Structure 1
Amino acid sequence: MEGCDRDGRAVLSSAEETAVAAAAVAVVRRFQVERAAGRMKVTLSRRQQRILLQRVLDAPDCVTTSEAVLQLCFAIGCGVVPRTMPRWWMRRRTGGTWEDLRLCDDAMDDYFREKLRMSRRVFIEISEACAPLLRRQVTFYREPLPPEQIVAYALYRWATGESYDNNTSSFGIGRASGILAVRDVTNALLRVYGDRISWPTGVQKQVGLRAFLDKGFPNCHGAVDCTHIYVDKPTNALDENYFDRKHRFAVIAQVVVDLDLRVLDVFVGYQGSCHDIRVIQLSSLSRRAGQGLLFRGPPVTLPGGVRTNGYILGDNGYPPS
């Protein structure tokens, strides 16, 4: 810079002004060149696209292929062709347990085991077997519940032990419908699977005895334990009779199973306050064992010196007998 003006501000010399002007012209010129090159590229790209499109349209099968693609897209959009369900990275909530059970994806089997204590395959088998007994006629006033929903609610009620007031809303039904559904499913299961729970005989008995023998329990027929089924307190019943150690109203179910968890005997009905020993003493299992109807095998001597014709295993809550 050379000198100052009358106000004391620095001013550019002639050479500096020429250099600044030349730089500005160069920048503007570069911008114009790049802009022209961009327009040329866009023009060439559009021209190439038109040429390619014309070649496709000139192909003999173009119209047929285009119509097929459009029809496929229309079918997928209308739901005729099912889409592949995505994985459950996060569990979706659709507003109810029944709606969640109706979804089909790779996390469904785990959801069935969590809510109904069984796989989806077993649930479908039970629903199909009980459907003829649960199907209702469509009337002028209402549309009946599908058998699958009735079975699902009853199983959910038994699996969770929740009250009718709490769990019926998850299935979109009322309290009265929930009570009726449990009764209907109970009667249907007794009619369809009434002969499934039985004490083993013949070959099945020998297979069970052999399985326990391989585990170190000779002449053992099964294992027994009790579980609590939570219920609403029966009307006009004493609270302390049905109040169990977990401070809930319940009845006791005594179950005998083999090594494959196949149920051999069930005894249900005593109040939740009863001890396991008291239940087995009052059960039909103890009565039949005392009459010699269960353990008829040859006597064996156990490691403790006990000689018996047969027995079932229990935890520390049962005294040796």
Structure 2
Amino acid sequence: MPPLRGAKRRRKAALEKKAAAAAMAAAASGEPPGDWWDAFCMRMSGTLSSIEDAHRFESVFKMPRRAFDYVCNLVKDEMMVRSSSYTFLDGTMLCLEDRVAIALRRLNSGGSLVTVGSSVGVNHSTVSLITWRFIEAMEERASHHLRWPDSSEMEKIKSKFEKIHGLPNCCGVVDTTHITMCLSSAEPNCKVWLDQEKNYSMVLQAVVDLDTRFTDIVTGWPGSMKESSILHSSGLFKLCEKGERLNGSKLKVSDGSEIEEYLIGDSGYPPSSLAAHTLPREGPHRVQC
């Protein structure tokens, strides 16, 4: 019986050879292979082949296949400009699905260009170029998916919050997440990017509705910045101050009091001057700009 390590290397080489053959066939026909996902997975490092296809796909790309197909269709024109310029290390041309998958892999993994490139079999500079083209394409083609609801849409959102969670006049949920960054400790002012977990990160603040649709985002602030400070610095807060957000009618409740429109936030968003109403101390706060 051959050594286990040697067997793994031979098995990986066989998978890579099969994947390369599939990619070459796709390039020759001008269309992605029917088993594109399997071929792409075989170019990736790891043990994903043991997971069911659907779960494997969603675990890597954080979206169902139908959403991935929609994104591909959305960015097709921009992503396929200079179609012969982007190739795998063996010279095989990247199809549309390859390019979108590589960009998403880079964006959702937080891995370096070299790490992502090695995992999918492309040069790190190709990963960088494809990722930036994908970002620009999404900004151009998908901006309509990120917008503040109009009055009729907001009424539906508020109705859902009240019906499902008993929160009258609630317009959404606000929270932050940290995007890990590759930053050297020798960089000037690097400490400001250190978050509570001692990782270098950038903060992204998002507002979502009950269907987890984004209605507002802001990012770019360093990891050390507090949630309340980010809110006060955001365009959303400034629009609220101008009366252009959370400006719907007040709702009169059973005790006779009136509730203005608001967002739900955790303890990182203290009510103070932002909210006129507060939920139980252990629960979220109503953030009213």
Query: Which deviates more from structure 2 when the two are superposed, residues 235-244 or residues 251-260?
Result: 235-244
- Residue of structure 1 equivalent to 2:115: 166
- Residue of structure 2 equivalent to 1:247: 198
Please give the per-residue CA displacement for 1:287-313, whole angstroms capped at 9, x wherever unaligned.
Answer: 111111112222235799974421000
- Residue of structure 1 equivalent to 2:237: 286
Equivalent residues of 1:154, 1:181 under 8 A apart: yes
Please give the per-residue CA displacement for 1:88-125, whole angstroms capped at 9, x wherever unaligned.
Answer: xxxxx83515996xx8x992211121111111111111
Which residue identity does 1:166 align to in structure 2? T
Please give the per-residue CA displacement for 1:166-195, whole angstroms capped at 9, x wherever unaligned.
Answer: 222111112211111111110000111012
Aligned counterpart in structure 2 of residue 319 of structure 1, from 256, 261, 270: 270
Equivalent residues of 1:253, 1:266 under 8 A apart: yes
- Residue of structure 1 equivalent to 2:162: 213
Q: CA deviation at 1:231?
A: 2.2
Equivalent residues of 2:180, 2:202 under 8 A apart: yes
Structure 2 residue 180 is matched with structure 1 residue 230 = yes
Equivalent residues of 2:240, 2:247 under 8 A apart: no
Q: TM-score scaled by structure 2?
A: 0.70
Please give the per-residue CA displacement for 1:68-101, whole angstroms capped at 9, x wherever unaligned.
Answer: xxxxxxxxxxxxxxxxx9xxxxxxx83515996x
CA distance in 2, matches of 1:165, 1:261: 33
- Residue of structure 1 equivalent to 2:72: 127
CA distance in 1, matches of 2:220, 2:189: 15
User: May I ask how many residue pairs the two structures share in their alignment?
Assistant: 227
- Residue of structure 1 equivalent to 2:54: 109
CA-atom RMSD in angstroms: 3.0
Which residue identity does 1:248 align to in structure 2? N
Aligned counterpart in structure 1 of residue 42 of structure 2, from 86, 94, 105: 94
Identity of paired residues, percent? 25
Q: 1:170 to 1:309 in 2, by over 3 A?
A: same
CA distance in 1, matches of 2:124, 2:248: 50
- From the CA coordinates, give the structure whose radius of gyration is larger: 1
- Residue of structure 1 equivalent to 2:14: none
CA distance in 2, matches of 1:114, 1:232: 23
Q: CA deviation at 1:209?
A: 1.1
Equivalent residues of 1:224, 1:254 under 8 A apart: yes
Aligned counterpart in structure 1 of residue 143 of structure 2, from 194, 198, 220: 194
CA distance in 2, matches of 1:289, 1:227: 22
Equivalent residues of 2:43, 2:120 under 8 A apart: no
Q: 1:232 to 1:106 in 2, by over 3 A?
A: closer
Equivalent residues of 2:43, 2:121 under 8 A apart: no
Equivalent residues of 1:163, 1:231 under 8 A apart: no
- Residue of structure 2 equivalent to 1:147: 96
Give unpaired runs (5+ residues) of structure 2. Answer: 1-34, 36-40, 276-289
CA distance in 2, matches of 1:166, 1:202: 46
